[in-house]
Structure 1
Amino acid sequence: MIVALALGGIFLDAYDLTSLAYGITDIRAQFGLSPVAAGAVSASISVGAIFGAWLGGVLVDRLGRYRVFMADMLFFVVSALGCALAPNAAVLIAFRFLMGFGVGMDIPVAMAFLAEFSRLRGRGSKGSRTAAWSPAWYGATSGCYLVIMAVYFLLPAEHHGLLWRFTVGFGAVPALVILLVRNKYMNESPSWAADQGDLRRAAEILRESYGVHAVVADDAEDAPRRPERRGLRDFALLFRRRYRARTVQALVIGLAQTFGYNAVAYGLPLIIAGLLGQAALSTISASLVLNLVFAMSGGLLGIRLANRPGAWPTTTAGFAVQLAAMVALALIGEPTGTGWVLAAICALGAFMFAQAAGPGAHFMSFASLSYPTSIRGVGIGFNQGTLRVGSTLALFFFPVLSSGLGSDVFWVLAGAPVLGLVALLAERWEPVGYDADAGTGR
């Protein structure tokens, strides 16, 4: 249940990030926004996530996983309702920023839970559970489009401009559910408690959550210590000789997959409606199919591939397929016949399948499993906060680039998987199966 609740946080992240993707056209019309202003609305959530991830990573290591997780659930409830009721673009941007701050805080704590409440190898391993964030993510994006479709049929046609408000506001519901069930199932990470010197608390968690009869030895030093206040030096730890190459590689892989994913996934309704010339209902349906069929199946495959062959080979193959898909879309251009439209949708599907099974599933393994418990939150937070810069640029510039370049924008996006492949080929580091606290692995 702890793993399920942690994945529930990931579900909320994806739902809230996706909820305005379809509605951006209606938001532009309702508030009279220019392309640049629309880009600011889209990117504000990612800007908030940058600061939320940096701060959240530090707080996760200092205050514990449980406290930060509960705090960011409140962010989701307040920001979702605030966005849904926003009277103007300025208020919408402010609440989108707040929503992003909660998303940024949630990723380090959710991934820490997945890594620290899992075994090293085998079924339910750290590698497979950190990869499980991918199908949870795509399940949320698919669920978002299902909500959009349901509201589309329930609302009278003259009120379809309000679709985005209902969709965004619905995001408060699962956050409230998680808050209500937290006391029964959620617990602190035993790894974190032990790392803080609170061995009795760690043993208690093992007994409650695992049924392991853990006891503290009579001669053990059981004295919870106050966390050292290091400030920016928390991040400097990631660039010590032992972790430097892992930190840089994880960051480049994350930037590459995030830039490409944000441009394609959040620009999906724009691509289908604009480049493929589809109407509103067809756009919703095609977006849903692409997420549910291609991305979800890819994410589930990514879990199966986590232990064998591992994160490095699967991520490399995923970037290679993404590169081929972007080149195909660029060569197809603006399709004129049914055959070319289907080919373009298949290329989009191939991109999303490869994303979900490869870099989308496993870039979190590089960021989460390469560090010991003491700096895991900082490592994930630094990685997420910094790569959110790439997603911010993608969300801001994709509408502008798409308007100016048309189908040639895919030549630009093809640079993302190339960057990822370069980072992977520079060093073959395999985080799955590696025990970061013991410094051993395959």
Structure 2
Amino acid sequence: MSTQPVAEREPVLIRSARDVTELVNSGAARGSHAKMIVLLALGGIFLDAYDLTSLAYGITDIKQQFGLSPAGAGAVTASISVGAIFGAWLGGLLVDRLGRYRVFMADMLFFVVSALGCALAPNMEVLIFFRFLMGFGVGMDIPVAMAFLAEFSRLKGKGSKGSRTAAWSPAWYVATSGCYLVIMALYFVLPDEHHGLLWRFTVGFGAVPALVILLVRNKYMNESPSWAANQGDLERAAKILRKSYGVNAVVAPDAEVVKPQAERRGLRDFAQLFQPRYRARTFQALVIGLAQTFGYNAVAYGLPIIIASILAQGALNTITASLVLNLVFAVTGGLLGIRLANRAGAWKMTFIGFAVQLTSLVVLALIGKPSATAYVLFAIFALGAFMFAQASGPGAHFMSFASLSYPTTMRGTGIGFNQGTLRVGSTLALFFFPVLSASLGSGVFWVIALAPLMGLVALLAKRWEPVGYDADAIEAEWQQEKAAATS
């Protein structure tokens, strides 16, 4: 990047919100601060995954400490997802109305308070409350993080919107792996008689990265220039381009300033997603999201239960196997999903991922509860194949369907609606998995297999490719045609 002061570089005139979006989409605007904003957004995703995973191993100790029934354990586990439902719905609206920056900063405060509250919870009720609060922060974070990833990236090529929205997947699995590393470290540090406290230390540690992000926010974090421009504030958009990208953006004297429609409120915001030109995309993104999140929540968050109960492994083997599965299979799959995002596209990668997941679950159901070591290893490999397919396929790319199908003015609402609604599926998975696994044993895999099957059907119903699609340009053309027709 040039060391020449921004003010001395050749001015770039900004006449409309479309000019700002095109500047970012073309890749002409590149800056270290913009890359740091992308990393901080991925840091938010890291926190989401860490907080959601932090109780996966400790639920057995929580059941013993608080005397929980299977239904009580399901309530503790699912409370974070219930909070995420409302957080995503509200957060999606706030991201489009108040901006990306404000909502992101509020998320970090949610994470700090809720992590410490969970770690110090004296009973089930307090734990459920703070897990709900944590989920609310997670739900709010997804729309803002994905909006940052999409709006601080170029349309095609290296560092594109498709690859960066897919980057949420390896960030997620690095976080889950990090969570198991923390658990393993505490397992060896704490005396055996205090292993029941593992879950408290693990959950409380989630406050640390949130505090780090809060400390560095003033230097790097900024509002999305595309959002500011679409709010009619071209001067602010130009200022962001100068600070975050190093582009000497100047608002032209003849600039076209269009203020957003003030009458859009509440359900009207969501109603935009079901306009004829967006309806099919909205439904497809929702079904794909429901399918992947139900399967992922059942398998990934239920991983310690699967390994400990169905595969009959001890505590250390359970932690080790969970860590290895995340590092070797999930992180690798997520990195592959980024690499192939532009080349293969979201549709193909998601289809292949669902197909592998379906096969893996059928294999696990047929193996049942293995009695021989060879079958245990084969079952663990099948779990690894599921997670690899999840991370490289639907897990990486369902966010592309949810975020890249809409223009900047609707992106937060679209992601929030998608996330809030599909969280209903994850809540059901988190609540019923302990109950189903206790009653069905390995037969629970037949139930989970319905999820990737549903995803395959949704993909075959509409072959829509969001990667490389310029939603802002198409929306601008539609608005021009509409204005011409009414004039």
1:196 is matched with 231
Question: What amino acid sits opposite 1:298 in the alignment?
Answer: G
Give the number of equivalent residue pairs: 440
Q: Does 1:26 align with 2:61?
A: yes
Question: What amino acid sits opposite 2:276 in the alignment?
Answer: R
- Let me know the Cα RMSD of the aligned residues: 1.0
Q: Deviations over 1:261-300 (max 9, x none)?
A: 0000000000000011100000000000000110000000
Q: Does 1:371 align with 2:406?
A: yes
TM-score (norm 2): 0.89
- Secondary structure class of the residue paired with 1:307: helix
The alpha-carbon deviation at position 230 of structure 1 amounts to: 1.4
Matches within 5 A, 1:285-324: 285-324=320-359
2:18 is matched with none
Preserved CA contact (<8 Å) 2:230 2:258: no
1:422 is matched with 457
Matches within 5 A, 1:136-151: 136-151=171-186
Q: Does 1:407 align with 2:407?
A: no
| In 2, Cα distance between equivalents of 1:313 and 1:224 | 39
Preserved CA contact (<8 Å) 1:196 1:227: no
| In 2, Cα distance between equivalents of 1:327 and 1:184 | 50
Matches within 5 A, 1:87-126: 87-126=122-161
Matches within 5 A, 1:23-422: 23-222=58-257, 227-422=262-457
TM-score (norm 1): 0.99
Q: Does 1:432 align with 2:477?
A: no
The alpha-carbon deviation at position 226 of structure 1 amounts to: 7.8
- Secondary structure class of the residue paired with 1:11: helix
The alpha-carbon deviation at position 229 of structure 1 amounts to: 4.3
| Unaligned 5+ runs, structure 2 | 1-35, 476-487
| In 2, Cα distance between equivalents of 1:310 and 1:97 | 35
The alpha-carbon deviation at position 225 of structure 1 amounts to: 5.8
Question: What amino acid sits opposite 2:158 in the alignment?
Answer: R
Preserved CA contact (<8 Å) 1:60 1:108: yes
Preserved CA contact (<8 Å) 1:200 1:222: no
- Secondary structure class of the residue paired with 1:438: helix
- Secondary structure class of the residue paired with 1:215: strand
The alpha-carbon deviation at position 224 of structure 1 amounts to: 6.0
- Secondary structure class of the residue paired with 1:303: helix
The alpha-carbon deviation at position 211 of structure 1 amounts to: 1.3
Preserved CA contact (<8 Å) 2:351 2:459: yes
- Secondary structure class of the residue paired with 2:276: coil
| In 2, Cα distance between equivalents of 1:225 and 1:417 | 39
Between structure 1 and structure 2, the one with the greater Rg is 2
Q: Runs (4+) of structure 1 moved beyond 3 Å?
A: 221-229
| In 2, Cα distance between equivalents of 1:228 and 1:376 | 18
The alpha-carbon deviation at position 227 of structure 1 amounts to: 4.6
The alpha-carbon deviation at position 228 of structure 1 amounts to: 3.9
- Secondary structure class of the residue paired with 1:243: helix
Question: What amino acid sits opposite 2:171 in the alignment?
Answer: A
| In 2, Cα distance between equivalents of 1:70 and 1:222 | 28
Question: What amino acid sits opposite 2:467 in the alignment?
Answer: V
| In 1, Cα distance between equivalents of 2:390 and 2:126 | 33
Question: What amino acid sits opposite 1:375 in the alignment?
Answer: M
Preserved CA contact (<8 Å) 1:62 1:227: no
Question: What amino acid sits opposite 1:22 in the alignment?
Answer: Y
Q: Deviations over 1:243-277 (max 9, x none)?
A: 00000000000000000000000000000000111
The alpha-carbon deviation at position 221 of structure 1 amounts to: 3.8
| In 1, Cα distance between equivalents of 2:463 and 2:434 | 36
